[in-house]
């Protein structure tokens, strides 16, 4: 053998300059080689064999060469080829390889080699001489080499089927001492005696699973190759589609040599050349078999034999799998199933199609016939489409698409639909119907109606045999799909009428369509307010489909029944049907149904007053909808219901955030029912925070569908309730009472229990505000009777009562209210102030059984949020002019003498000859409110001196707010987090909105910004205190409050990401970064800071 050729075989190959160092794998292999001591001081096993087994192109040889460069022990290299199947050649080259690292090794072996190498080739070699040589080699290794070293046998598949050479390797593994480690790199698993090695833990292996390139490694490889534009999602797609096959990635994508790979087609040609020349260069017959069998997505021996009309298909498949030729086996109960690497399969199919198109089509058609005969419709449709037989594919789809919908296999249907030509998709009524149903599943009823219109048009132009031969009631199915689209559009009456027409035309044996119509009518009836009729129709649908049948429609019926029973207060039946829906959905693995059922479970728990459980279910629904599913309708429902949940708990800021986001999404997806619910929740939040004007505006947006004007739909009910509640908060008690009484009659009829209880409490509150105590007691008795039947609503009753101070006073002080006090757990005790001193509804805050009342001052001034002044416990209403209140707060803010001209300039944007008169009129009304002595005129200036009449009995929220802030900052500086936290919390409780929120004059803008910034700083401090205490949920809440006011605040986004990361919620942390990125781009046209980007990258690295 020439010296150059010898060196090529026994010297590790040179590494390319642009090499990706696979640190983790090199470290693992080096640990196995060196037998390192672990962190627990336990020595790792002394491996005698290390194996790297994977098909060609997974980077095995490069990895071993890199290992040899980094390890501290000597590495003897031996690159095998087919010439090494000679036992003598194999032994000589092992000796030469060892001598390359240990030059004096085995000098006594040369004589033995010469005695074995008999010149006469016709004379058999004496096997005893070979045995002696092998034994001498083993002895020399054990005695002459005292240090640990490795013998690398690269390309081992070349000798794997040579028994004499394999026997030598077995002897080496059994007899050499532990300081010699044999490393085998092979495309196939070696045919060695592993039993002893496995028993003593002396073998360590890496397969293609460990050797595959990850997305991170592909990104790094792209940078080394100079492809800087490759992003992580693209790298993930490459890693998945190529299964980490690095040679395929280098040759088949733009990560390879950009100078030569200019086009996608060029990439494929180069990759295909590698496959043919390197992988199948000596396997022509196997290559031909696999190329034709590649038309199959999964190969079995029997299927390949029938398709290709051969008898040795099983032998070929076994050979491919055994020799690591990109074919893997999965043993099923009936027959082994083989799968080809997806990229290789695509290459082979394309080559077959290019080389022999007629054969390609013929094989697909034969495969379609084979699968159809076995009733495997999915595979039959796939092959029909691949062969261009769209008419056959349409026929097959028409036979099974309803079953696929019922089983929740929408992705399969979608994939088939996309395989049809655009012309067929636009003209075939059946495919238009299927596309419409797919659109309806995601709530896109606008697209669905467009598709159904096109389907109707095409149906009129085609003969019945073209479409309906295989499925006679086609028009019925179209009508039912249209009824569903109308339902989603909020046209419940039209949907109901269309279903009734369908029912009248259906034959009695068309169970599927009849059940579908019953279900749609039932849901429409529920939303039109006739719950008991709706439940009756839903039960009919369930009876036809079978109560325990596993299909999507049955899950939907159970879910609709759960919703209906929950609304009428029958929680036990609601829970039963919801459990059935969840069980059915879990069996079908339908993620959208899972979101819907989690939301409904949250609603059920909320109606029962189990707020903690409700929050868990709704949060899980929101997380799932926002995740990989991207189910926007489910996300919208979860958001709105979370808003209502936090409203019930008095957590108005959280309620506001969730409800506003939910409303925006509901409008975006055109779900008018949900939009109405979102508007109701928002209106209630603003009412309870004292902003009646905004509540009125929100209620005006709750448009009622025309077809519901004469019905008692849920949308109409909540609209009437919020309008009456606004009248109540406007102190128009007689009008509110009349409206509530009318609604009560409706609710008694339709059976909405929760809403009925709320209305009864608000009627009692009206009577209490009007001091009609006998009627208060009458309604308290009605409420007690209601709660004796529907005990789960006790928590809701307490929440409602707590919102109305005068009613709460009546309950706590009247002897007649003893029983309801016990039911609601309200203590009977005298209030510190007389009833007539109670002011606005929001003076009393009661979210548990302890009622807290603000400290009483003769004069209370509130400027944060909606400005209001209380004098002697009653709100001041005799301002006469809006400017009077503004003048009050202007002088209060200045707290120094101000000249008339300055006041006029600040408060009046347009000055004319009447302005001076208006100023004096305003001044007159201000003096009437507080007393003449409070407004002092001296030396041409004006001052507001309230203490001249009220002394120290004055409370001004801005002063208290600033005092708390100063104290909290001092406590923070002193290192007292607990005290600072309490002071900050007291402070932010006062911040009910921006300073003088409805006043738009320039004079208050600076003060407004200053106080807002102080509030934001307090929230920031609270978030950091909570972080230090590891109260991460609390910290997140404070950061989120900051983002409500300033969505582009990067520090808040960063704080939320850190909290989520510490809680192990990496998905939420990554989502928060993307939210931040989108907001900064939209509002500031900028990217997140480097700090935030680096943190995001670290999170990606640990996901």
CATH code for the domain of 371: 1.10.10.10
- Looking at the whole model, is its pTM more than 0.85? no
pLDDT at 342: 81
pLDDT at 364: 93
Q: Based on the domain organization, do 866 and 829 belong to the same domain?
A: no
Q: Based on the domain organization, do 128 and 207 belong to the same domain?
A: yes
Q: How many domains are there within the chain?
A: 8
In a domain, 397, yes or no: no
| Residue of higher predicted confidence among 355 and 119 | 355
Give the 3-state secondary structure of residue 550: coil
Most confidently predicted of 356-370, 437-451, 682-696: 356-370
pLDDT at 393: 86
Q: Which is it for strands 859-862 and 954-956: parallel, antiparallel or unpaired?
A: parallel
> What is the pLDDT confidence band of residue 725, given thresholds at 50, 70 and 90?
very high
> What is the pLDDT confidence band of residue 73, given thresholds at 50, 70 and 90?
very high
Helix/strand/coil percent split, the chain, to 5: 65, 5, 25
In a domain, 72, yes or no: yes
Q: Based on the domain organization, do 90 and 177 belong to the same domain?
A: yes
Q: Based on the domain organization, do 70 and 171 belong to the same domain?
A: yes
User: Alpha-carbon distance 991 to 637, whole Å?
Assistant: 29
pLDDT at 466: 47
CB 210 within 8 A of CB 184: no
Q: What is the pLDDT of residues 377-417, one digit of tens each?
A: 888 988 998 888 888 888 888 888 877 777 777 788 888 88
User: Alpha-carbon distance 143 to 75, whole Å?
Assistant: 18
DSSP H/E element including 700: helix 692-700
Domain end marker among 386, 405, 433 = 386
List, in sequence order, every residue forming a beta bridge with 53; answer none if it has no partner.
186, 207
Q: What is the CATH number of the domain that holds 568?
A: 1.25.40.10
In a domain, 421, yes or no: no
956-966: average pLDDT: 94
In a domain, 966, yes or no: no
pLDDT at 705: 53
Q: Based on the domain organization, do 542 and 670 belong to the same domain?
A: no
564-573: average pLDDT: 86
Q: What is the CATH number of the domain that holds 207?
A: 3.40.50.300
pLDDT at 252: 56
- Percent of the chain exceeding pLDDT 90 equals 36
Most confidently predicted of 485-499, 586-600, 848-862: 485-499
Angle between helices 753-769 and 733-750 (to 10 degrees): 160
Q: Based on the domain organization, do 44 and 191 belong to the same domain?
A: yes
Q: Average per-residue pLDDT in the chain?
A: 84
Q: Based on the domain organization, do 248 and 184 belong to the same domain?
A: no
Long-range (24+ apart) CB contacts under 8 A made by 539-547 are: 540/515, 541/515, 541/516, 544/511, 544/514, 544/515, 544/518, 545/511, 545/515, 547/580
Domain end marker among 386, 402, 427 = 386
In a domain, 779, yes or no: yes
473-502: average pLDDT: 88
Residue recorded with tokens 């700090």: 1091
In a domain, 620, yes or no: yes
Q: Based on the domain organization, do 33 and 51 belong to the same domain?
A: yes
121-150: average pLDDT: 81
| Residue of higher predicted confidence among 1036 and 855 | 1036
Instruction: Please name the residues in contact with 726: beta carbons below 8 A apart, sequence gap of 6 or more.
Output: 683, 687, 692, 695, 696, 699
How is residue 852 written in tokens?
């807290």
Domain range for 619 is: 606-703
> What is the pLDDT confidence band of residue 956, given thresholds at 50, 70 and 90?
very high
pLDDT at 511: 86
Q: Is the pLDDT of residue 844 over 60?
A: no
CB 267 within 8 A of CB 254: yes
Q: Based on the domain organization, do 1049 and 1074 belong to the same domain?
A: yes
- Of 203-207, 255-259, 335-339, 804-808, least confident by mean pLDDT is 255-259
CB 183 within 8 A of CB 204: no
440-471 burial string, b = 16+ CB within 10 Å, else e?
bbbbbbebbbbbbebbbebbeeeeeeebbeee
In a domain, 974, yes or no: no
Q: Based on the domain organization, do 1021 and 1047 belong to the same domain?
A: yes
107-115: average pLDDT: 85
1067-1081: average pLDDT: 85
496-503: average pLDDT: 91
206-222: average pLDDT: 86
Residue recorded with tokens 């120290």: 952
Domain end marker among 524, 555, 589 = 589
In a domain, 405, yes or no: no
Q: Based on the domain organization, do 10 and 34 belong to the same domain?
A: yes
Q: What is the pLDDT of residues 915-953, one digit of tens each?
A: 888 899 999 999 999 988 899 998 889 999 999 999 989
Q: Based on the domain organization, do 667 and 814 belong to the same domain?
A: no
């Amino acid at each position: 053998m020439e010296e150059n050729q010898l060196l090529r075989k026994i010297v590790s190959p040179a590494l390319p300059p642009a090499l990706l160092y696979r640190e983790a794998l090199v470290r693992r292999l080096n640990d196995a080689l060196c037998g390192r001591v672990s962190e627990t001081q336990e020595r790792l096993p002394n491996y005698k064999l290390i194996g790297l087994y994977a098909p060609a192109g997974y980077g095995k040889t490069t990895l071993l060469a890199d290992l040899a460069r980094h390890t501290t022990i000597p590495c003897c290299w031996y690159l095998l080829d087919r010439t090494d199947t000679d036992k003598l050649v194999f032994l000589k080259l092992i000796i030469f390889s060892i001598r390359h690292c240990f030059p004096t090794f085995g000098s006594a072996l040369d004589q033995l080699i010469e005695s074995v190498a008999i010149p006469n080739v016709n004379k058999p070699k004496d096997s005893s001489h070979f045995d002696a040589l092998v034994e001498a080699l083993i002895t020399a290794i054990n005695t002459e080499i005292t240090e640990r070293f490795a013998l690398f046998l690269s390309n081992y598949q070349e000798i794997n089927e040579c028994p004499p050479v394999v026997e030598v390797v077995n002897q080496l593994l059994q007899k050499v001492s532990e300081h010699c480690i044999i490393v085998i790199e092979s495309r196939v698993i070696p045919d060695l005696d592993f039993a002893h090695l496995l028993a003593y833990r002396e073998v360590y292996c890496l397969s293609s699973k460990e050797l595959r390139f990850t997305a991170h490694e592909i990104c790094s490889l792209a940078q080394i190759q100079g492809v800087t534009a490759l992003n992580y999602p693209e790298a993930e797609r490459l890693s998945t589609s190529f299964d980490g096959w690095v040679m395929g990635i280098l040759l088949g994508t733009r990560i390879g040599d950009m100078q030569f790979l200019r086009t996608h087609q060029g990439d494929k040609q180069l990759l295909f050349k590698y496959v043919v020349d390197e992988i199948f260069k000596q396997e022509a017959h196997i290559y031909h078999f696999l190329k034709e069998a590649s038309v199959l997505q999964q190969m079995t021996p029997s299927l390949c034999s029938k398709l290709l009309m051969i008898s040795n298909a099983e032998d070929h498949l076994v050979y491919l799998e055994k020799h690591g030729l990109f074919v893997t086996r999965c043993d099923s109960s009936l027959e082994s199933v083989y799968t080809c690497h997806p990229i290789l399969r695509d290459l082979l199919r394309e080559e077959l199609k290019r080389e022999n198109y007629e054969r390609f089509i013929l094989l697909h058609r034969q495969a379609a016939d084979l699968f159809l005969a076995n009733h495997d419709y999915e595979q039959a449709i796939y092959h029909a489409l691949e062969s261009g037989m769209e008419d056959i594919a349409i026929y097959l789809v028409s036979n099974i698409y309803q079953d696929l919908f019922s089983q929740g296999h929408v992705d399969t249907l979608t994939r088939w639909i996309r395989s049809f030509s655009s012309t067929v998709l636009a003209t075939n009524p059946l495919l238009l119907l299927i596309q419409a149903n797919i659109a309806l599943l995601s709530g896109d009823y606008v697209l669905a109606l467009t598709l159904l219109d096109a389907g109707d048009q095409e149906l009129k132009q085609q003969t019945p045999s073209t479409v309906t031969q295989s499925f006679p009631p086609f028009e019925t199915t179209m009508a039912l799909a249209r009824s569903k689209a109308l339902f989603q559009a909020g046209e419940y009456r039209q949907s109901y009428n269309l279903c009734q027409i369908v029912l009248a035309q259906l034959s009695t044996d068309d169970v599927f369509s009849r059940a579908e119509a019953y279900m749609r009518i039932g849901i429409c009836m529920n939303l039109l307010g006739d719950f008991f009729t709706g439940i009756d129709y839903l039960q009919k649908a369930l009876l036809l489909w079978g109560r325990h049948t596993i299909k999507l429609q049955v899950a939907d019926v159970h879910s609709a029944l759960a919703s209906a029973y929950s609304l009428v207060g029958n929680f036990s039946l609601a829970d039963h049907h919801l459990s059935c829906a969840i069980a059915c959905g879990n069996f079908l693995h339908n993620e959208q149904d899972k979101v819907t059922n989690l939301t409904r479970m949250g609603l059920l728990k909320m109606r029962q007053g189990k707020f903690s459980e409700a929050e868990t279910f709704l949060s899980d629904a929101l997380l799932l909808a926002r995740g990989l599913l991207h189910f926007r309708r489910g996300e919208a429902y979860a958001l709105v219901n979370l808003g209502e949940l936090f409203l019930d708990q008095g957590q108005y800021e959280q309620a506001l955030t969730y409800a506003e986001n939910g409303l925006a999404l509901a409008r975006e997806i055109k779900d008018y029912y949900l939009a109405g619910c979102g508007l109701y929740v928002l209106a209630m939040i603003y009412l309870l925070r004292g902003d009646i004007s905004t509540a009125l505006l929100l209620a005006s947006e709750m448009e009622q569908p025309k077809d519901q004007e004469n019905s008692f739909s849920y949308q109409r009910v909540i609209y009437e309730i919020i309008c009456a509640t606004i009248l109540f908060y406007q102190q128009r008690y007689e009008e509110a009472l009349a409206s509530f009484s009318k609604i009560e009659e409706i609710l008694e009829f339709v059976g909405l229990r929760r809403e009925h209880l709320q209305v009864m409490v608000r009627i009692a509150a009206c009577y209490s505000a009007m001091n009609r105590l006998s009627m208060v007691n009458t309604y308290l008795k009605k409420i007690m009777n209601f709660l004796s039947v529907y005990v789960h609503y006790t928590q809701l009753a307490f929440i409602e009562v707590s919102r109305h101070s005068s009613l709460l006073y009546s309950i706590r002080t009247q002897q007649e209210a003893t029983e309801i006090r016990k039911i609601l757990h309200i203590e009977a005790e005298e209030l510190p102030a007389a009833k007539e001193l109670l002011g606005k509804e929001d003076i009393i805050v009661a979210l548990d059984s302890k009622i807290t009342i603000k400290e009483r001052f003769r004069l209370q001034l509130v400027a944060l949020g909606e400005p209001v002044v209380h004098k002697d416990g009653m709100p001041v209403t005799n301002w006469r002019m809006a400017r009077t209140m503004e003048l009050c707060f202007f002088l209060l803010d200045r707290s120094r003498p101000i000249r008339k001209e300055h006041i006029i300039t600040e408060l009046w944007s347009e000055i004319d000859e009447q302005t001076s008169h208006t100023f004096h009129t305003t001044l007159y009304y201000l003096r009437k409110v507080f007393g003449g002595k409070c407004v002092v005129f001296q030396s041409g200036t004006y001052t507001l001196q309230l203490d001249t009449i009220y002394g120290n009995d004055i409370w001004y929220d801005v002063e208290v707010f600033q005092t708390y802030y100063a104290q909290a900052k001092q406590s923070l500086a002193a290192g007292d987090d607990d005290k600072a936290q309490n002071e900050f919390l007291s402070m932010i409780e006062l911040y009910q909105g921006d300073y003088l929120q409805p006043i738009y004059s320039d004079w208050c803008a600076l003060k407004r910004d200053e106080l807002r910034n102080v509030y934001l700083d307090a929230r920031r401090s609270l978030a950091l205190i909570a972080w230090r205490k590891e109260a991460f949920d609390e910290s997140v809440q404070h950061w989120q409050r900051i983002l409500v006011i300033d969505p582009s605040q990067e520090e808040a986004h960063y704080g939320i990401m850190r909290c989520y990361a510490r809680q192990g919620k990496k998905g939420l942390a990554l989502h928060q970064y993307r939210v931040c990125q989108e907001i900064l781009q939209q509002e500031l046209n900028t990217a997140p800071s480097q700090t935030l980007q680096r943190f995001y990258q670290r999170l990606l690295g640990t996901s």
